[in-house]
Amino acid sequence: ETGVTQSPTHLIKTRGQQVTLRCSSQSGHNTVSWYQQALGQGPQFIFQYYREEENGRGNFPPRFSGLQFPNYSSELNVNALELDDSALYLCASGWDISSYEQYFGPGTRLTVT
């Protein structure tokens, strides 16, 4: 049990729609990273937030955006959903950008039809 929660657990959306996924970190965790994990593959880094500012971004288009809030919660927003966006989305939080431990949430399984 990492203390990191995500909602919803599962979600089915139609191509072209928009989706918001949520993550609640442990109190005091100033960083949150989001990852996309397609079936049978390793996670791919989407972006990281540190104290409510984007601190790094992977190779994902601008239709993937995020927010981090002062209450240690965060959101991943995906616009104009494509079939290839179907994946497990994981958030991971940590104390600081240099801290070595990340705590992963249980993930949100997104299916785009």
Partner 1 sequence: ELKVEQNPLFLSMQEGKNYTIYCNYSTTSDRLYWYRQDPGKSLESLFVLLSNGAVKQEGRLMASLDTKARLSTLHITAAVHDLSATYFCAGRWPSNYQLIWGAGTKLIIKP
Which of 20, 26, 44, 73 is close enough to bind partner 1 by CB under 8 A?
44
- How many positions of this chain bind partner 1 (CB under 8 A)? 25
| CA 38 distance to own-chain centroid | 13
Pairing of strands 10-13, 64-68: unpaired
Window of 15-23, 36-44, 67-75, 77-85 that interacts with partner 1 by CB under 8 A: 36-44
> Is the CB of 19 or the CB of 105 nearer to partner 1?
105
Which structure tokens are listed for 81? 């959903």
Q: How far apart are CA 104 and CA 90, in angstroms?
A: 7
Window of 16-24, 53-61, 66-74, 79-87 that interacts with partner 1 by CB under 8 A: 53-61
DSSP string, 14-50: -TT--EEEEEEPPTT--EEEEEEE-TTS--EEEEEEE
43 is a contact residue toward partner 1 (CB under 8 A): yes
**Sites of contact with partner 1 (CB under 8 A):** 33, 35, 40-45, 48, 55-56, 58, 90, 92, 97-98, 100-107, 109
